[in-house]
Structure 1
């Protein structure tokens, strides 16, 4: 008798509003995993008070409740700015509270960036941010507190997630590639509202270095917490064994 097929691993994604959540369907197909996405809603303005509200424990607990029927093995708050705006200690506390609500390991996109950089052994980066300057600088401060040197930072000054989600593939390539720096070991593109997965292979080939985008590291972190091996050549260096060689 043929044994019953095992269910695909499941990583629950809590996503703010609507913009680039289609990236998770792409990743789920490539990796043969389940990435159910639920939404929490607030103002999508890239401004500190609104971001603090968006990432509040109450909103994330509501997202965890929506994910419960999917039986996730891990849960990720898929919002970079809605986690790093709390600072390093606040971001960790945010994830701890989410884990308590979800009953499974939890993390966020901001914490995923730190885990991915550590796995790849990288400490010197450039940041190509879509955010207004003040918010982008908070991400730089967040990285610096973890010992990551930011050799160049750019801010596109886009005020809302909806506007970021409207960028087409060529605009994303331009925003990213024009703000790399030769001294950077990797380029970080930190906004889950930006559709990046389909342009990752082209960007890495063009720049000759790892490119870490928000939706990419979010998926990787969820699978890492779930103990699920992850490999997909079209999802960049992070998914092609580089992290394993670095001792993930």
Structure 2
């Protein structure tokens, strides 16, 4: 086949906080049909997350820097926007996530997948109702996550927030810690487990634990990739990263 005959897949802009070191590794492991990820980094000048006030400053910084990150990544002429960050998308419930998505559309003219939307749709795909949640957040962040899922109609049986000290140090949480957190929110009456916080590297842990528990264990990065692929008409069943991409 000549070079001129090569058909490239869609270009997806992957927008992440500058502090994030997990998203790109996990996303590049999952790249069907010559799809390409093109990273835009949101400058985070206030990475601390060790208190409610610090969390607030992080959010302010992220929202202030988001337009510049989008402007830069749009020079790659992507076909779609994928938000490789999730805390802000859970903030303010369903309406808050919808407003966040609309802001991205207004700034780029493109459709977008967010962690909050993807998480909800992934849980619906499995018919889950009662869920256990794992995050790297402080209680102020966990409250927003619980409120969001509750508003969607899910019952949050338990949530474990790891209280990571900064946006960067989230990536330092070990697989053993993540596994223990999942097990802590599981129970015989829990339909599915889900993890939020894109810098918490949980894809491999979730896929392995899912086999042990016999129920969906969903990593936020897998959920968002799945949502973006399906939104772009890519229905490949990708194996090795959990049942969401294999079955739905």
Query: TM-score band (shorter)?
Result: 0.7 to 0.9
Superposed, 1:79-94 pairs within 5 Å as 79-94=85-100
Partner of 2:202: 196
**Residues 117-141 of structure 1, C-alpha deviations (whole Å, 9 max, x = no match):** 2223222211122211221121001
In structure 2, distance between residues paired with 1:7 and 1:220: 19
1:183 and 2:186 aligned: no
Alpha-carbon separation, structure 1, partners of 2:196 and 2:33: 22
Residue 164 of structure 1 contacts residue 193 of structure 1 at CA under 8 Å; is this kept in 2? yes
- CA positional deviation for 1:233: 1.6
Maintained 8 Å contact 1:84/1:139:
yes
> Normalising to structure 2: TM-score of the pair?
0.87
Please provide the CA RMSD for this pair: 2.1
Aligned length: 240
Tell me which of 105, 113, 124 is aligned to 1:99: 105
Q: Write out per-residue CA displacement over residues 83-132 of structure 1, whole angstroms, 9 at most, x where no aligned residue.
A: 11233202111101101222211131111111222223222211122211
Task: Kindly report which structure 2 residues correspond to 1:21-170, keeping only aligned pairs within 5 A, or say none.
Answer: 21=23, 22-28=25-31, 32-42=34-44, 43-46=46-49, 47=52, 48-56=55-63, 58-170=64-176
Question: Aligned pair in 2 of structure 1 residues 54, 192: CA closer, same or farther (>3 Å)?
Answer: farther
CA contact (8 A) 1:75 1:105 kept: yes
Q: Distance in 2 between matches of 1:66 and 1:231?
A: 32
CA distance in 2, matches of 1:151, 1:26: 31
Residue number in structure 2 paired with 1:246: none
3-state SS, counterpart of residue 76 of structure 1: strand
CA offsets per residue over residues 146-190 of structure 1, 9 Å max, x none? 111111112222232222101233332223233322211110111
Take 1:230 and 1:162, find their aligned partners in 2: how far apart are those partners? 32
Asked if the contact 2:22–2:171 (Cα under 8 Å) also holds between the matched residues in 1, the reply is: yes
Q: Contact (CA 8 Å) 1:81, 1:191: kept in 2 or not?
A: yes
Unpaired runs of 5+ in structure 2? none
- Measured after TM superposition, the shift of residue 15 of structure 1 is 0.4
> CA–CA distance in 2 between the matches of 1:109 and 1:54?
19
Match of 2:244 in 1: 238
Q: 1:217 aligns with which of 210, 214, 223?
A: 223
